[in-house]
Amino acid sequence: MIATGYTDTYARDNLPPRDQWPDMEPTLPELHYPDRLNCAAALLDEMVAKGHGASPAIHSHEGTWTYAALLEKVDRIAHVLRGPLGLQAGNRVLLRGANSPMMAACALAVLKAGCILVPTMPLLRAKELSVVIDKARVNAVLCSAALAGELEGARSQTGMAGPALYFGDAEAAGSLEQAMAGQPASFSAADTAADDVCIIGFTSGTTGVPKGTMHFHRDVLAICDCFPRSTLRSEANDVFIGTPPLAFTFGLGGLLLFPLRVGASAVLLERLTPDLLLKAIQDFRATVCFTAPTFYRLMAPLAGGYDLSSLKKAVSAGEALPKATRTLWRESTGLEIIDGIGATEMLHIFISAAGDAVRPGATGKAIPGYQACVLGPDGEVLPPGEVGQLAVKGPTGCRYLDDPRQQQYVRNGWNLTGDAYRMDQDGYFWYHARTDDMIISAGYNIAAPEVEEALMCHAAVAECAVVGWPDEERGQIVKAFVVLRPGHDAGAALARALQEHVKQTVAPYKYPRAVEFLDALPRTQSGKLQRHVLRSAPPK
Ligand code: 3UK
């Protein structure tokens, strides 16, 4: 490893042993970076030096910040961190807030100051924040004033001594904005190693204690130089928009890192609904949208009410994209969705396809820079057509912070994402299920998403979720939870119609023997369906 630029080496000291890392040797020449590398300086200072100072960087309802304006904010915050807050290089800074320009500036400032960014989902409660604070040994917090309550709760629960500064209420005494005003407008980036840890991203932890995934300065540039170049083909005049929080690496990449890397701009808005996102695409003339499959599904019927002529690309990730959703979106906007599978462990998307290369129903191919294959139960590579565990490697990969689960995620240099996939003759990857979402009913293996896909083709179904339900006779039965579109009545007749519809669409043994109607499905903040919630205590 390269000599660290950090005086606090907690993150480096808690990387997994080298033999438990995935293979991360870059296969493309453009993914080799200099040994001394600060990713924030590469994304911001270098772009200003290249002449992007006056270009727009971030838009919000409050106005637009140019690259030069963003740089000045970032530098003042970096001074606050290293000056008044007394942080050293390598310290961890927890960041908390809904998407906003200040959130973006704080994230970049932490990286530029040589501290480690620990982004957290806005809705986390004190108890969940405490786990993150303890695990990452957080030294200081930058938090939106609107989210102070749960944070203060967590700080007292953990006895965290480090300081917290609040932004978003500039008038409040002691706000981050006031601290910034007293600092110099220019900060020279901390001299960090390309392989110094710069982000600890926590997994959503749908089950068990959240895992801290560690990423280096060079990983941040690597994701910018893979998917956006080969697949998205983003350009300086692009305007990025979307829903994922910056705390979720899908959002951090898509709504901050990717635009900056090419001199483009991003629209950062909090609290987006399908209607508000469509309106924002129209009003900001956005060209690239990042969101989850359900959001496309909910936006499709509303799209006709807006002028979406600026929109060129629509990226979907976080969950499998049902074919029905792809079709709905294409029919209402003329755009073929760019599906992509990513993971917090991998930082961003590694299998995808765009434009003419799309095969509806498949996620896509391994993007340039990454390799993928399907493994059998003994870790052997399976031939095309067989379903097994998805395995992937590339310039990024899983390094958990002090976690025994490292050895489950990484085997023989491959990252195992926990997804069941099959690869076809042409190298396209077809999603089946999370390996723990396979239902075994009377000896049949049934992938929950396949049944959901069939249900979603029925006109009455807005959203649905399928799980394995305990059953004495069959071990498990297929059970569907269904949210109806307006104008359809829940009841036995519709349940029977849905069962019949599934039997006509896929092999009849896969039909849901139980159907329950719900008003909404339980989802994580990153938009993922929480099947385990339905399996344990279905909401009434
Ligand atoms: C699932 C998908 C099918 C899959 C993420 C893009 O979702 C992200 O990270 P997470 O750690 O979850 C990872 C898991 O989510 N998944 C994601 N995308 C797809 N399944 N098709 C897809 N297109 O189970 C994966 O293992 O929350 C996505 C970029 C960055 C991310 N962190």
Per DSSP (E only), the strands in 358-460 are 365-366, 371-375, 388-393, 410-411, 414-423, 429-434, 438-441, 444-447
Q: What is the DSSP letter of 3?
A: P
Question: Is 419 touching ligand 1 by the criterion CB < 6 Å?
Answer: yes
Single-letter code of the amino acid located at 98: A
**What is the pLDDT averaged over residues 172-201?**
96
Q: Which residue's alpha carbon is at the smallest distance from atom 17 of ligand 1? A: 318
For residue 206, is pLDDT > 70?
no
How far apart are the C-alpha atoms of 60 and 99, rounded to whole Å? 10
Question: Is 526 touching ligand 1 by the criterion CB < 6 Å?
Answer: yes
pLDDT at 440: 85
Structural domain contains residue 326: no
Residue 497's contacts (CB-CB under 8 Å, 6 or more residues apart) are 458, 460
pLDDT at 452: 93
Rg (CA), the chain: 23
Structural domain contains residue 197: no
Sheet holding 92-96, edge to edge: 164-167, 140-144, 92-96, 116-120, 197-202, 212-216
Residue 536's contacts (CB-CB under 8 Å, 6 or more residues apart) are none
Structural domain contains residue 276: no
How many angstroms from the chain centroid is the CA of residue 5? Answer: 28
Structural domain contains residue 465: yes
pLDDT at 508: 87
pLDDT at 148: 93
Per DSSP (E only), the strands in 250-385 are 265-267, 288-291, 313-316, 338-342, 349-352, 365-366, 371-375
pLDDT tens for each residue of 14-35: 999 999 999 999 999 999 999 9
Please tell me the number of Cα atoms within 13 Å of 289 on its side-chain side. 30
pLDDT tens for each residue of 110-162: 999 999 999 999 988 888 899 999 999 999 999 999 999 999 999 999 988 89
Q: Any idea what the CATH number is for the domain that residue 446 is in?
A: 3.30.300.30
How far apart are the C-alpha atoms of 344 and 250, rounded to whole Å? 8
Structural domain contains residue 443: yes
**Atom number in ligand 1 closest to CA 418:** 26
Structural domain contains residue 526: yes
For residue 207, is pLDDT > 80?
no
pLDDT tens for each residue of 481-504: 999 999 999 999 999 999 999 999
pLDDT at 537: 60
Structural domain contains residue 452: yes
Which 3-state string (H, E, C) describes 398-419?
A: CCECCCCCHHHHEECCEEEEEE
| Range of the structural domain that residue 479 is part of | 438-535
Q: How many CB atoms lie within 10 A of CB 3?
A: 11
Question: Is 203 touching ligand 1 by the criterion CB < 6 Å?
Answer: yes
Structural domain contains residue 514: yes
pLDDT at 208: 66
The answer to whether residues 222 and 396 touch, using CB atoms and an 8 Å cutoff, is yes
Three-class secondary structure of residue 350 per DSSP? strand
Per DSSP (E only), the strands in 170-216 are 197-202, 212-216
Q: For a substitution probing ligand 1, which of 121, 319, 345, 452 has the most ligand atoms within 8 Å of its CB?
A: 319
Q: How many CB atoms lie within 10 A of CB 289?
A: 30
The answer to whether residues 96 and 142 touch, using CB atoms and an 8 Å cutoff, is yes
Three-class secondary structure of residue 315 per DSSP? strand
Question: Domain count of the chain?
Answer: 1
Output the CA 249–ligand 1 centroid distance in Å: 10
